[in-house]
Amino acid sequence: MKTKLIVIMGPTAVGKSALGIELASKYQGEIISGDSQQVYRGLDIGTAKVSPAEQALVPHHLLDVREVDQGYSAFDFVQEAQAKIQEIRARGALPILVGGTGLYLQSLLEGYHLGGDVDQTALLAYRQELEALDTETLYGLVVQKGLEIRELNRRRAIRALELAKFGQDLSNQEQDFEPLLIALDDERELLYQRINQRVDAMLEQGLLEEAKWLYDQYPQVQAARGIGYKELFPYFEGESSLEAALETVKKNTRRFAKRQLTWFRNRMKPHFFMVSNPTFKEDLEAVVEEFLHD
């Protein structure tokens, strides 16, 4: 029997972390973070990492597992998340994956074997390059390279092109878990309002000091390219006002939320729930109960 796994995804600021804690408390669960920035120690405010008090409510995993000057890839995440799922299940608990990094979630759920010997930076850069292409251009590359794909779609086209370029065994591996995919969403106006409010709250909590530390100590590292940090660098350099820099943080975060939702809708096919719906919690509980007791 495959291990049951609940996956909570959605755009930033929609309430994923709170729901994860709620479900973990109710169903004897443990949370695995699926966020590419929350793995870094010292980056707590800008990544919207759950507080120590929240972490104390239920076990959390894959938070603070890298120093800011270390790299972290989808390959690393898949390997470490798989191990955590097995550990949690061995304790008789329910693994709950919570995060908004679509590439990481999809790589784990679809069993991507990203190739430990492959240059991960090059592989992910190539994938992002392909993702940015319109469908006609992407399919044109498939034809140009003479690739034969059954039931052609964007996902299969990108995977075939990756295989052709890197020439290694990157075929997907069957996973030993059964996932329930839950995606949170809300009306755009409400979601964008929460994003703006979150950035304001981050500033009060010390975002500026955290970003300045990153700017002074590690300006070139992978972690420094995260939204909420890089937008403040022009302010530290005297090229932007603080007000303008914070507005850019908000704008980029809103755009990122839109990209997240597009990824989840087009690639993940989860159960979507609108968090402002009056019956949101009841509807979600019914789906979770049916999944766990099926």
- Residue ranges covered by each domain of the chain: 116-171, 190-256
Instruction: Output the CA–CA distances (angstroms, integers) from residue 261 to 186, 195, 240, in the order listed.
Output: 10, 14, 30
- pLDDT for the residue numbered 229: 98
Q: Enter the pTM of the model.
A: 0.83
Please give the order of strands across the beta sheet that includes 60-61. Answer: 60-61, 29-33, 94-98, 3-9, 177-185, 271-274
Contact in structure between 97 and 5 (CB atoms under 8 Å):
yes
Please indicate if the annotation marks 17 as binding a ligand: yes
Question: Is 278 annotated as a binding-site member?
Answer: no
**Residue 13 is assigned to a ligand binding site:** yes
Largest Cα separation within the chain, whole Å, is 59
16 is in an annotated binding site: yes
Q: Binding site annotation covers 14?
A: yes
- Tens place of pLDDT per residue across the chain (294 aa): 789 999 999 999 999 999 999 999 999 999 999 999 999 999 999 999 999 999 999 999 999 999 999 988 887 898 899 999 999 999 999 999 999 999 899 889 887 655 555 666 677 678 778 888 888 999 999 999 888 887 888 878 887 888 888 765 555 566 789 999 999 999 999 999 999 999 999 999 999 999 999 999 999 998 999 999 999 999 999 999 999 999 999 999 999 999 999 999 988 889 999 999 999 999 999 999 999 998
Q: Which CATH class is domain 190-256?
A: mainly alpha
